[in-house]
Amino acid sequence: MSSVTTWLVVPAAGQGRRMGADRPKQYLPLAGETMLARTLERLHLALPDARLALCLDEDDARFTPEQVPFARWQRVTGGAERMDSVLNALRSLPADDDDIVLVHDVARPCVMPADVGALAAAAHDSVDGALLAMPVADTMKRATSGGDCAGTEPRDGLWHALTPQGFRCGVLRRALEDARAHGTLVTDEASAVESLGGRPRLVSGRRDNLKVTHPDDLALAAAVLASQELPEHHAAAGTANG
């Protein structure tokens, strides 16, 4: 992947209201740091030479540059929705259409560096990009509007979408621009690419790449982090570099 630049886009402008906390969830403490710092640490372990676009709320007063381990990074103003933040980042990056862009949830601090590396390689090799995912293991039920069980759905071929998700910069920008033009709200980047006929590659990821959404998820994430074995890494904080 030496012929192209790898960019990381991390949307972190949300308020995380489902956590019921006194601050956005990316700033909740996790293993002695903020969740934001832990997530960026994992990405830096995997891709230390990548360039980072960190999407933050315009009025975010809790952010400090010491939470960023990357040498080359820039702050981007986040949007009302995830796709708005990512599109803002893509529009601001001095990236070529063939550069690789990996988008990762700030609320997935337990992603393993090996999975990030495998996803980056797959995104480089696939014309339609790739996403970390895991096969559905549980029995899937469809609910009625009243909360009753309406039936059982076959789980063959079903996968849980995870992040990072990676694409050529030009492909992802066109997909998100098209979604915005049609008033379509996409919840992950792969679905935007799919809407243009793309077929992103599924890269099997670890099941402990959990997303912190509800209050009890934070304690689970702390337990997962404590159980994971990582390569030794000594990262110095970077400075903003557009």
**Rounded mean pLDDT of 11-29?**
85
Distance CA 158, CA 47 (A): 29
Rounded Cα distance between 65 and 63, Å, is 7
Cα maximum dimension of the chain:
54
Give the pLDDT mean for 127-149. 96
Q: What digits encode the pLDDT tens for the residues 23-77? A: 999 999 999 999 999 999 999 999 999 999 999 999 999 999 999 999 999 999 9
Output the pLDDT for position 219. Answer: 95
Q: Per the domain annotation, does 113 fall within a domain?
A: yes
C-alpha to C-alpha distance for 149 and 220, rounded to whole angstroms: 28
8 A C-beta contact, residue 76 and residue 8? no
Burial class (CB in 10 A: 0-12, 13-18, 19+), 203: buried
Rg over CA atoms, the chain:
18
CB atoms within 10 A of CB 117: 14
- What are the tens digits of pLDDT across the range 78-107? 999 999 999 999 999 999 999 999 999 999
Is the Cβ–Cβ distance between 97 and 170 less than 8 Å?
yes
pLDDT (0 to 100) of residue 232: 61
Confidence of residue 234 (pLDDT cuts 50, 70, 90): very low
What's the mean pLDDT when you consider all of the chain? 92
Angle separating helix axes 35-46 and 113-125, nearest 10 degrees: 60
Residue 190 lies in a domain: yes
Quote the percentage of the chain above a pLDDT of 90: 87
205 to 51, 130, 209: CA distances (angstroms): 23, 12, 8
The CATH number given to whatever domain includes residue 62 is: 3.90.550.10
SS3 assignment, position 5: coil
Closest CA to 12 of 77, 56, 68, 44: 56
Q: Which domain holds residue 23?
A: 6-240
Residue 190, number of CB atoms within 10 A of its CB: 27
Q: Return the amino acid letter for 106.
A: V
Please give the model's pTM, rounded to 2 decimal places.
0.92
Rounded to the nearest 5°, which phi and psi values hold at 96?
-80, 160
Token pair belonging to 219? 């304690």
Domain assignment present for residue 228? The answer is yes
Place of tokens 């990236």: 95
Counting the structural domains of the chain, the total is: 1
Whether 1 maps to a domain, the answer reads no
> 1: pLDDT confidence band, cut at 50, 70 and 90?
very low
Quote the tokens at residue 231.
């390569």
Helix (H), strand (E) counts: the chain = 6, 12
**Residue 237 pLDDT > 50:** no
The answer to the question of residue 199 being in a domain is yes
Q: Could you tell me the pLDDT band of residue 14, with boundaries at 50, 70 and 90?
A: confident
